[in-house]
Amino acid sequence: MLISIGKKIRELRESEGLTRTQFFELTGILETVQKSYETGKRENIGIETVMKITNHPRFKKYTLWLMTGDLAASTVQIAPRFLSGEKDDDQ
């Protein structure tokens, strides 16, 4: 299943129980920019933005999933509830 990076960011943020404001406080990614990614209005996400997320200690566990959609069974990599089979509210 191919999921856009913006949708992954939203799922990651929501799985961590964070508002966009809280996510901004942790990553420095402006709320308006987050919203544009999450809604698909802006699709090209620079590596700097991805690094702001994956370099934060709280979100390192999502790195492989965020960048590839894969999970490494032998490591402590996780995916938000989205991949666990729960239905997406937008569908």
User: Is position 89 within any domain?
Assistant: no
Instruction: Give CA separation, 11 vs 1, 46, 48, 74, in Å.
Output: 15, 19, 19, 23
Total domains in the chain come to 1
User: Is position 90 within any domain?
Assistant: no
User: Is position 19 within any domain?
Assistant: yes
User: Is position 87 within any domain?
Assistant: no
Residue 14: pLDDT above 70? Answer: yes
Which range of residues forms the domain containing residue 38?
Answer: 5-82
User: Is position 17 within any domain?
Assistant: yes
User: Is position 23 within any domain?
Assistant: yes
Q: What is the pLDDT of residues 54-69, one digit of tens each?
A: 999 999 999 989 988 8
The predicted structure's pLDDT at residue 87 = 56
> What CATH number has the domain bearing residue 11?
1.10.260.40
